[in-house]
Amino acid sequence: MQNHPFEKMAGLSSPNDSKIILMVLDGLGGLPTKPRGSTELETALTPNFDTLAKEGVTGLHLPVGAGITPGSGPGHLGVFGYDPLAFQVGRGALAAAGVGFEMESGDVAVRGNFCTLDEEGRVQDRRAGRIDTKTNNRLCEKLDPIELDGVELFVQTIKEHRFLAVLRGEGLSDEVNDTDPQETGRKPIDPEAQKSGAGKTAAALKQFAECARKVLAEESPANGILLRGVAKKPEWPSFRDVFGLNAAAAAAYPMYRGVARLLGMEVLPQPETFEEEVEQVKEHFSAYDFFFIHFKPSDSRGEDGDFQAKVDAIQKADAIIPALRNLAPDVLIVTGDHSTPALLKSHSWHPVPTVLWSPTCRTDRTESFGERECMSGGLGPRFPATDLMPLALAHAGRLKKFGA
């Protein structure tokens, strides 16, 4: 608990029966396609977001720091109040959390990809033609029974070509390299100990890869595996301990369910659609203090480079706001985990539009929800993402006075 927001808030938490809703529009921030043009959010017709912006306080948050483009994990950790530089998690542990695998202390998790190997054992396709999830299920049933020397193995489907492998046993380590060569035409890299004490883990993963190749020999196109992000379960202070909040997550995608689970949030049953997520929040509104709702399409359409489709996605998210306001939350925040401008077809480092609505807001001069309006909002054009949670708690009346 050495880092900034936690340190400041230690001992200030003062639970009450207020409700906070945090709606994350993945990849919300955008760019104009020409200088002085409008971004996706500025182009979208968002009457409900605009009302929040008029009544609340706006700004743009910096997810990690100047110039840093965050992955989805760090982006979410920041808005959840966990400094992404202090709380780093390996891909394996994030994958385990995402599919709801209960890692035990000492377990080591790895993200696996099914891949296609040629006759010399070189990687032909790092994703085995993105096989479907049903095929993945069948293949994982072949991998799961593999017996390793002195180590228990669990293999579980994630989605398409992605699976999770977990090792359980004494003396395991996360100091083992990835086996993915990151390009085709090369053989998978052997797992090796990066530090003393990691030999047992490296040997187990090597044995796993060899056995997998035998078991998958007759399969096509998925006749091999690549392993990435060997990781232990992070031992982090829980959302409840840090903020005194009983939190629930409504999210359809494994990644975001995983991050929420790592912080000890209750992850609501897997929804199929965004509308279903909102229904879940309604249904459980009396049972929790804090709700995280995740909306994926704004990021996906940005990654596609489809400006108009991202505009449409944002409009769809806007339409859900009246349903959330009808629940009469004490604090409602709409923001993103990072920017995904259609112009760049990828995550970016640009600050992320944010509106915080609450009856205790000091209204600023923002007239609508958009990047340029937020630049002159009360939260400033580049505030740290980790400021959001302390602000939410304060507006919810959940923080005591500091000092006499």
DSSP per-residue string spanning 335-357: E-SSB--TTTTS-B-S-EEEEEE
Query: 334-363: which residues touch its own copies (CB under 8 A)?
Result: 343-344, 346-351, 360-363
Nearer to its own copies, 88 or 308 (CB): 88
Residue 399 makes contact with its own copies by CB under 8 A:
yes
Nearer to its own copies, 9 or 249 (CB): 9
Q: Which stretch binds its own copies (CB under 8 A): 28-36, 139-147, 186-194, 317-325?
A: 28-36
Find the helix packing angle between 47-55 and 307-318, rounded to 10°.
60
Query: 150-179: which residues touch its own copies (CB under 8 A)?
Result: none
Q: Where are the alpha helices (DSSP H) in 80-229?
A: 91-98, 133-143, 199-215
Residue 94 makes contact with its own copies by CB under 8 A:
yes
* Position 326, amino acid: N
Residue 76 corresponds to which tokens in the numbers above? 């979410």
CA angle 334, 82, 231 (to 5 degrees): 120
Q: Which stretch binds its own copies (CB under 8 A): 136-144, 219-227, 320-328, 391-399?
A: 391-399
Nearer to its own copies, 91 or 213 (CB): 91
Peptide bond into 221 cis (omega under 30): yes
Nearer to its own copies, 226 or 281 (CB): 226
- Minimum CB separation from its own copies for residue 399, in Å? 6
Identified binder of its own copies from the candidate list 18, 43, 72, 157, rule CB under 8 A: 72
Can you tell me the distance from the alpha carbon of 369 to that of 51, in angstroms, rounded to the nearest whole number?
8
Nearer to its own copies, 124 or 300 (CB): 300
Can you tell me the distance from the alpha carbon of 57 to that of 378, in angstroms, rounded to the nearest whole number?
6
Could you tell me the strand order of the sheet in which 290-295 lies? 266-267, 247-250, 290-295, 20-25, 331-335, 352-357, 57-62, 380-384
Query: 242-301: which residues touch its own copies (CB under 8 A)?
Result: none
Identified binder of its own copies from the candidate list 11, 17, 66, 196, rule CB under 8 A: 66
Query: 198-237: which residues touch its own copies (CB under 8 A)?
Result: 229
* Phi–psi pair at 244, nearest 5 degrees: 65, 30
| Binding residues with its own copies: total (CB under 8 A) | 78
Can you tell me the distance from the alpha carbon of 286 to that of 298, in angstroms, rounded to the nearest whole number?
29
Can you tell me the distance from the alpha carbon of 169 to that of 154, in angstroms, rounded to the nearest whole number?
12
Identified binder of its own copies from the candidate list 44, 64, 209, 334, rule CB under 8 A: 64
Nearer to its own copies, 199 or 237 (CB): 237
Can you tell me the distance from the alpha carbon of 290 to that of 281, in angstroms, rounded to the nearest whole number?
10
Identified binder of its own copies from the candidate list 107, 311, 364, 369, rule CB under 8 A: 364
Identified binder of its own copies from the candidate list 3, 13, 15, 65, rule CB under 8 A: 65
